[in-house]
Amino acid sequence: MLLKDPRLHAALLLTAVLACSLPLAWGQDESARPEEQGVASLAESLKRANTQLHVFYVHGMGADGPGHSDSEDLRKSICKHLKDCTTTEGTLDGKREYADKGSFVSDAQPPPLSYLGEQIWKSRQGGTPTEGWNASAPFVDHWKLSRIHAPAIYVDEINWWPLVFAAKCRQIVADDATLAGPSKTYISECASFKPDPANPGRFLSYPWIEAPDAEKLEALQPRGALINRSLKSYVFDWGFSDAVLAIGQLRPYLLEGIRQLVVKSVNVAADGSRGETVERDPNQEFVIVSHSLGSYLIFSALDITESDTGSTQALKPGLERILSRTSTAYFLANQLRLLELANLDNETGTNMVKHLEAWGRLRGEYLASLGVSTPNRLARPHIVAWSDPSDLLSWNVPELETVVVENRMVKNSPHWLWILESPAGAHTNYAVNKSVIRAMLTLPKHPQTQ
């Protein structure tokens, strides 16, 4: 996740201290206790004994990449709060699943995308473009939080980061090493090579920067000043590049991959068995927890419009079923307002508001079929958008007609001399913030009915 490196903490801290124009953060209010504010929550689903609950976790920009689990903090926080998980963070439930249909079949050729005239998915030494494209397939890790006195919670961790590594590693990280200086951490992430033994033809990590080139880059002397170099490398090269790719020509492939993974995740029978041929548990419910850029991507993926063609349309019934049974989405920081600047109501009409309103309509139709009155505020789906006012990468979600939007403020890290809060902590600590987890897992004491 973006901004976790301790060197960046120090760099950002010093930068903020030196910035004479930094606004003061006097007496910041964390808002009223969230469990008293009458919003829908995970707790509503947890109290139903016959529910198979799935939490779709979608990471944001700057994911740590190979060998890391972005849902780990959330899983640990849930189990710590519930106090009845059989393990501290759950266990893997079956093997990793990859997007493997449509554009991502195992023998598919990579898309003809290029950067400044250079093919993105070019052959590595001893490899092929097809191999590199296979290594770019998004994947999902399924986690099961088994409980002593209650049904298990399934956390389906959607990982879209492999799709951005080819362009980010080769064109941004590698090139900027020759200008500002090398980031050995990220060069190493881009150069590791490890096939996935459980899924032949797929890869746990892939050498987008080949080993000899990585050694040369790591040996370069830094040129930029320490603070500036750290900010550029860790924030812009590794993080913002993901956001730019997500709103460009790579976007259709990101959405296609996420759609396939979501559909795979719900193929779980009542007895917990998985697979495309199992009879899905009829009592499934879904909650979305997304961080940063992930909020923008997941709802763009779940709402299939008329402009989507081919194999994507075949997924529409399954995705509409999932949306209709999704009561709540938690946005842990979000960039909806910022990213929609690249989508000024284009002719297809697929802006983010329409995606979210479509969810609200599907949810309303489903509840109406069960005899539930949707004008009731709590019967409509909820977005609970958590933002630390000191988070540099979070904005409020706009009001919607068919979805209740709750923009909530929270303080993720201590304030330093009442002037500064760690920018890294402000952006990354939502999943370990007790007030956020408490709001998700505690039933409202004073529900609002209007």
How, if at all, do strands 415-416 and 420-421 pair? Answer: antiparallel
| Cβ-contact 190, 210 below 8 angstroms | no
DSSP state of 442: S
User: What is the pLDDT at residue 49?
Assistant: 76
| Cβ-contact 258, 158 below 8 angstroms | yes
Distance from C-alpha of 308 to C-alpha of 306, rounded to nearest angstrom? 5
User: What is the pLDDT at residue 1?
Assistant: 52
At 336, give phi and psi (nearest 5°).
-60, -50
User: What is the pLDDT at residue 409?
Assistant: 96
| Cβ-contact 141, 57 below 8 angstroms | no
| Cβ-contact 354, 304 below 8 angstroms | no
Using CA atoms in the order 361, 365, 367, 372, what is the torsion angle rounded to 10 degrees?
A: 100
143: β partners? 92, 155
442: β partners? none
Distance from chain centroid for Cα 419 = 30
DSSP 3-state assignment of 329?
Answer: strand
| The amino acid at 67 | G
Burial class (CB in 10 A: 0-12, 13-18, 19+), 72: middle
Which residue positions in the chain have pLDDT lower than 50? Answer: 3, 6-39, 446-450
User: What is the pLDDT at residue 128?
Assistant: 86
User: What is the pLDDT at residue 183?
Assistant: 95
Instruction: Dig out the tokens for 385 from the structure.
Output: 């958008």
Quick one: which of 288, 359, 416, 367 has its CA closest to 16? 416
Quick one: which of 442, 328, 445, 436 has its CA closest to 77? 436
At 142, give phi and psi (nearest 5°).
-95, 125
